[in-house]
Amino acid sequence: MRAASFDRAEVIGKITDTFWENGFEATSIQVLEAATGLKRQSLYNAFGNKDAMFELALDHYDSIVSQRLLATLEQDDPGIALRDFFTAQAAILLDADKPSGCLVAGGQQELANRDAVLGRRMGGLIDQQHDGLVAAFERWQAAGRLAKEADPSTLAAIVMTQVRGQAVLGRSGRGVELVRRASHEVPKLFERYFA
Amino acid sequence: MRAASFDRAEVIGKITDTFWENGFEATSIQVLEAATGLKRQSLYNAFGNKDAMFELALDHYDSIVSQRLLATLEQDDPGIALRDFFTAQAAILLDADKPSGCLVAGGQQELANRDAVLGRRMGGLIDQQHDGLVAAFERWQAAGRLAKEADPSTLAAIVMTQVRGQAVLGRSGRGVELVRRASHEVPKLFERYFA
């Protein structure tokens, strides 16, 4: 018997957007059926249960969002890198074709206090962003572009809190303007640490 | 017939903590019954439906969290005010006796895309924080403590995104350390705007 005839990558994209838009709790299997056009049994057979589908969504989100942001940090000039990082983040948040907010920030709000497995999975994505940022600040420091006294972990923490805050605020109409303002100015705040 | 014999303020506190801990969707009426020790009919009679209880929780949260934060800004020295603001915010987030995260940031993630009434209600709390921050930066600017070129709206936006980002990150074990680092350093980032 052949596997169900649908484009797996396309369906994973739809599942991702659905969790991203509605959060974990409000994304019932009925909502996923409507979003993908597939019956629940096809979804379960292809992807596993709702938790497994959420994990696939996290993987997909990692590849289209997290990796894109981390790639901007692979530049020698920390000022340009941070400007590009926040510009890319704002572009994703304010993209009218994508759900608003951040899948990980939203999932973290809903699940961190309640689901150990998914909480750990999101913790892994957060650690990855943290480690990527710390590595970038350490690299700039080793190259003499960042002051010796600057603490890469602290600067990484500030970037991460900004990113998540913009994701949360960007979900409301009024917040979009705040995100635009903040994402434009925040990179300049790090100039005090540049050597 | 007498009203149900319970301490209304105490029950509102428990309702608030329950939404704060679990978010809106996962807080079923059963969860509220367990948290308050009251039967659903008593809850409905006293407070209205789940949406109405969430609105009461937002009011209570406003009085114990939002107003406490805004009060720190009533100082003449912006450096001291912002340090106190972020210290108070971190103290609330890292208070082991309180749910982690932020009720408004969490509710915003869950509801902004889906519930117009509650979305507007949370929008009102967000506007209030925004307006309070803008007023403080404008006051400092008028008093010559903030550079003429600084834009109070942009600085308010940066503070607000930091606050929400710390609320999201503070929900995970690893994130607590990031919040501690960020909340200590972030006030210094605003020194570049001081006159």
Minimal Cα–Cα distance from B118 to chain A, Å?
12
Give this complex's ipTM.
0.86
Residues within 8 A of A (CB atoms), B 73-92 only: none
Name the nearest CA neighbour of A137 among A64, A195, A88: A195
Residue in A157, A175, A185 closest to B182 by CB: A157
CA angle, A105 as apex, A102 and A106 as ends, to 5°?
80
Torsion of CA B141, B144, B147, B153, to 10 degrees: 0
Residues within 8 A of A (CB atoms), B 110-129 only: 110, 112-114, 119, 122-123, 126-127
Residue in A113, A156, A177 closest to B22 by CB: A113
Within chain A, which residues score under 50 in pLDDT? 1
User: Do the Cβ atoms of B113 and A171 come within 8 Å?
Assistant: yes
Minimal Cα–Cα distance from B78 to chain A, Å?
16
Residues within 8 A of A (CB atoms), B 125-154 only: 126-127, 130, 151, 153-154
One-letter amino acid at A161 equals: T
Q: Which CATH architecture has domain B59-193?
A: Orthogonal Bundle (1.10)
**CA distance linking residue A106 with residue A120, whole number of Å:** 14
Residues 6+ apart with CB under 8 A from A54: A19, A24, A27, A107, A118
pLDDT in the model for residue B145: 97
DSSP-based three-state secondary structure for B28: coil
Residue in B22, B100, B161 closest to A169 by CB: B161
Name the nearest CA neighbour of A19 among A95, A94, A84, A111: A111
Residue in B113, B122, B127 closest to A22 by CB: B113
pLDDT in the model for residue B139: 98
Residues 6+ apart with CB under 8 A from A122: A58, A104, A107, A108, A111, A112, B172
User: Do the Cβ atoms of A100 and B123 come within 8 Å?
Assistant: no
pLDDT in the model for residue A80: 97
pTM above 0.80, yes or no: yes
Within chain B, which residues score under 70 in pLDDT? 1-4, 113
pLDDT in the model for residue B26: 87
pLDDT in the model for residue B3: 55
Which single residue is written with the structure tokens 């805004």? Answer: B70
User: Do the Cβ atoms of B158 and A112 come within 8 Å?
Assistant: no
Per CB-CB distance under 8 Å, the chain B contacts of A25 are 23, 25-26, 110
B21 at interface of A, judged by CB pairs closer than 8 A: yes
Topology of the domain comprising A62-193: Tetracycline Repressor; domain 2 (1.10.357)
